[in-house]
A and B are shown apart, each in its own frame.
Chain A
Amino acid sequence: MLIRSARAALAGAVLFGSAVTTGQAATPKDVFVMASDLTTFITFDPAAANESFPNELLRQMCTPLLSLDHQDPSKVVAGLAETWSSSPDGKTWTFSIRRGMVFASGKPVTSASIAWSMRRSMKLNLVTASLMRDWGLNSPDQIATPDDHTLVLTLTKDLAPSVTPFAFTNHRLGSALDADAVMAHEKDGDLGAGWLNTNVACYGPYRLNTLRAQEVVILEGYPKFWSGAPAMKRIIVRHVPEPGAQRLLLEKNDIDYAKSVEASSLAAMVANPDLRFQFKPRLDSVYLALNQKDPILTNPKVIEAFRYLIDYQGLSETVQKGRAEIRQSFVPAGVFGALPKGEDPYRLDIAKAKSLLAEAGYGDGFKKTILTMTNYPFPDLAQNLQQNAAKAGVTLEVRTMATAQLYTLMRSRDFQMLMAVYDYDYPDANDMALRMAYNPDNSDAAKATNFLAWRAAWAPGAWFKEQVETAQRERDPAKRTALYAELQRRHMQESPIIGIFQRLGAMALHKRVKRFDYNGAELFYDTIQKD
């Protein structure tokens, strides 16, 4: 709470003092300096990394088999593999690995390096192993290396060939670790996991120079990278947890890029001629989940009433102005399978919500608790819903908590209502459909925690299951699009997971930064250019 008030005061104070003098010495031309919150830095191990910012840095140091296009995330381009093809059944994938790549140790990067990294992840059974299972990569036998430059992967899942390549754009799943460097630091059979917490032994355009959590991270351009050393010889990330302080540094010309931008500062910052902004729709959904273990919240009329209690329009023009767009369907705009923009049928309508609640037999209202995260904008969103619900006679108690704590309660399905955001992994409707509309087994024992439907204890039924599975196999793009459209429309009517917004990623850069590629899903440091 204190920290939150501190942040609010901070934002206000920065606004008050926005007429900051500039013209100080700029950062060097070939060094890129950014400010970010480096408070937690659990691991740099590709088998286990799950935090957003450490993962973004890891992506710069671990080039994946394939890459998302720097501008258009729906396009897959070459990475460690120059070419790739699939068998007619879409299950066997053959990658032709680029020649001439070498690790910092001088050892060549071969298909065996990639295979070793993948098998290591499977053996450790950490986050990446779970990702692999999602794609049908369950056992080391599914990975073959007929020669140094050919990698063959056989997946068990029957997926449309347009979907599967996205699996290999994930740097955690298909990058190359220097096995000798890692195993030299193995301790108690951990396959080097302890060492990789704070070290990187991948092949990519950058290498790790310094890592001090809560202080600084420095990446260094790797001159032996296949396309040569990147223009920025060094990337320096300073630990500055407060967005207000980040803004001061940016306006004072001490950094090139501020990672966190507060909505309340955005307008003033955009007006500053020394700064430059890049906005991209993100690959995510802000949603409200109603737990289907709660007898009141399972009532379809109650679920529908909540759809009318969210002030989509009002919030998008105030709290979320410039930071999010209304998106009630689960596939974000710009992604294959997304519904056309504007197809958001619900508006705030308290009278309608009231009558739905009365029809459901809850004319006198009820009391529920809604959990959400402490960070912007969630407390504001939840409080807005709380006010609207009160007008319809429903009393909501808002409880904010640290994200890790919220995950724990989600995993145990121990909540009544919950407002959060889900960051998708890849830009195809299959990912969103699996997370939002699919539940392999709704029993407590199944612990299908990586499916949001399971977390909300929602058993979508046979139609949804069939539709998701058919769509993920469908080869004809037009048919696939139609299947996902139908799925999303029905989801918007029936699901207790209510879509609200798709967030916009805002990058605050100094105007001397001429190029910083961001496609909404990933940032690319190797093509940064500045004056």
Chain B
Amino acid sequence: MSSLTDLAPRRPVRARLPRRVLPILRGSLSIALTLLGLLALTFFIGRVLPFDPIAAVVGEKADASVYETVRARLGLDQPLYVQFGLFLRDMLSGNFGRAIFTGNAVADDLRHVIPATVELATVAIIIGCGFGIPFGVAAAVYRGRPIDHAVRLLSLVGHSVPIFWLGLMGLIIFYAWLGWVGGSGRVDIFYLDAVPRRTGMLLVDSLLAGDWDVFVSAFRHIILPALLLGYSSMAYISRMTRSFMLDQLGQEYVTTARVKGLSRRRVVWGHAFRNVLVQLATIVAISYGGLLEGAVLTETVFAWPGFGQYLTTALMIGDMNAVLACTLIVGLVFICLNLITDLLYRFLDPRTR
């Protein structure tokens, strides 16, 4: 016996899905396709480049038979599409394979290098925003005055001086001469593994463990590279803030606010600055994303065991498991930052709600 509901005309499946689910599905599919495209492109470019992981494994002394053994062992004797397919299959089961140049599972390596980079990038972006935004606002408000020139000069230096040079000068002055900061690495060598690893970020882990000595040592080591990276971000953020603010300060609503007799502080921070927040969020997200990709030269000068060095080394020997996993991570970082920025837009700009 059929019920009344059975007699009712069926709504199409599409209509049956809640209105909010469809865009999410569509979004997820587009993200998945973007990532797949990114991986395929990286894989095929990586295989076309003249980097030979077998040469790195066997060195120059092995004979041809050893070379062939390693080729087969690494699966490089398979056609390219099979190699890519195998990688995708492993990746979907949460296994990125083994990195040739470290001998470890790629996932284990990433668990070490990602927190190191996230920690450095986060401190750096805090420094970059903490100085860059006020400097940019001040430069816009005092346009053409000495403070504007000073900020311009500061940003120009931040943009143009090579970071490795600044890094080494910083090490010579603040580590070797003054002894204010720690030298290379993330922590004093005798504090290695002194606190249990929870997040992999030493500042956080040492605080969680309540170990003040390790925290101080980690802070002394991170401050110089973070200041340098932060300085470079600050240069970009302050220039962009200045330009956004100038746009706003020339608008009629600002003039109106001034005519109404509002204090300069209120006009600048309460009206103009609030309107550049959306654009600024994008700039900060781009800067943070760039920092999360890892800064190879800074990591090299400061012997910081981060993502940038890891990815670069993997690329140099054509270690595709590591390269693809890193590409995926970078892709995901940018997608996440985009999503966060979108959410921030809604929060910051009432028109988008």
Contacts and interface: CB of A to CB of B under 8 A. Distances in A.
Nearest to A246: B184
Contacts of A35: 184
20 contacts: A16-B172, A20-B172, A39-B309, A42-B103, A127-B66, A210-B192, A213-B103, A216-B189, A240-B303, A245-B301, A248-B184, A404-B51, A404-B55, A404-B318, A407-B59, A408-B55, A410-B60, A448-B63, A448-B64, A449-B62
A194 B74 CA distance: 12
Given A40-B56, A245-B302, A449-B60, 7 more contacts: A21-B179, A127-B66, A212-B305, A238-B189, A404-B316, A405-B50, A447-B64
B290 interface: no
Interface size class, chain A: 35 or more
B101 A40 contact: yes
B69 interface: yes
Given A126-B58, A214-B305, A411-B55, A9 B112 contact: no
Contacts of B102: 40-42, 198, 213-214
Interface of B: 50-67, 69-70, 98, 100-104, 109, 112-113, 162, 164-165, 168-169, 171-173, 175-177, 179, 183-186, 189, 192-193, 296-297, 300-303, 305, 309-310, 313, 316-318
Given A50-B59, A214-B309, A404-B316, A6 B70 contact: no
A210 B101 contact: no
Contacts of B297: 2-3, 6
The winner among A20, A44, A131, A408 for most chain B CB atoms within 10 A is: A408
Given A41-B101, A450-B63, A50 B309 contact: no
Contacts of A411: 55, 67
B301 A242 contact: yes
A124 B66 CA distance: 9
A39 B313 contact: yes
Nearest to B303: A240
Given A39-B313, A41-B102, A127-B66, A407 B165 contact: no
A130 B51 CA distance: 23
B169 to A, nearest CB: 6
Contact of B172 (A17, A125, A402, A409): A17
Given A14-B172, A216-B192, A248-B183, A6 B104 contact: no
Contacts of A254: 183, 189
Interface in A225-271: 236, 238-242, 244-245, 248-249, 251-252, 254
Interface in A26-47: 33, 35, 39-44
Interface in A436-472: 447-450
Contact of A10 (B54, B69, B100, B168): B168
A210 B193 contact: yes
A245 B104 contact: no
B176 to A, nearest CB: 4
A507 to B, nearest CB: 20
Contact of B303 (A14, A124, A241, A448): A241
Given A17-B172, A238-B185, A408-B52, A215 B305 contact: yes
Nearest to B317: A404
Contacts of B309: 39, 214, 241
Contact of A404 (B56, B104, B192): B56
Nearest to B301: A242
A21 B317 contact: no
A197 interface: yes
A195 B273 CA distance: 57
Contacts of B184: 35, 238, 240, 245, 248-249
B151 to A, nearest CB: 26
Contact of B301 (A10, A41, A422): A10
A214 B310 contact: yes
B interface secondary structure, majority = helix
A172 B128 CA distance: 51
A109 interface: no
A238 B192 CA distance: 11
Contacts of B169: 13, 17
Interface in A124-152: 124-127, 129-131, 133
Given A9-B168, A127-B58, A17 B177 contact: yes
B103 A43 contact: yes
Interface in A492-513: none
Contact of A248 (B59, B98, B175): B175
B63 A194 contact: no
B61 A131 contact: yes
Contacts of A131: 61
B63 A449 contact: yes
Contacts of A409: 50
A405 B51 contact: yes
A21 B66 contact: no
B65 A130 contact: yes
A72 interface: no
Contacts of B54: 408
A139 to B, nearest CB: 14
Contacts of B179: 21, 24
Nearest to B188: A254
A238 B172 contact: no
A197 B103 contact: yes
Nearest to B173: A17
A9 B300 CA distance: 13
Closest 6 CB pairs of A and B: A197-B103, A447-B64, A17-B172, A50-B59, A408-B52, A213-B102
B301 to A, nearest CB: 6
Contacts of B51: 402, 404-405, 408
A129 B57 CA distance: 14
A252 B62 contact: no
Interface in A173-215: 194, 197-198, 210, 212-215
A48 B70 CA distance: 10
Contacts of B317: 40, 402, 404
A236 B303 contact: no
A5 B69 CA distance: 38
A124 B56 CA distance: 18
A177 to B, nearest CB: 16
Nearest to A198: B103
A48 B58 CA distance: 7
A51 interface: yes
Contact of B313 (A40, A248, A450): A40
Contacts of A20: 172, 176-177
B57 A9 contact: no
Contacts of B313: 39-40, 214
Contact of B98 (A126, A194, A241): A194
A408 B53 CA distance: 9
Contacts of B168: 9-10, 13-14, 244-245
B286 to A, nearest CB: 21
A125 B113 CA distance: 33
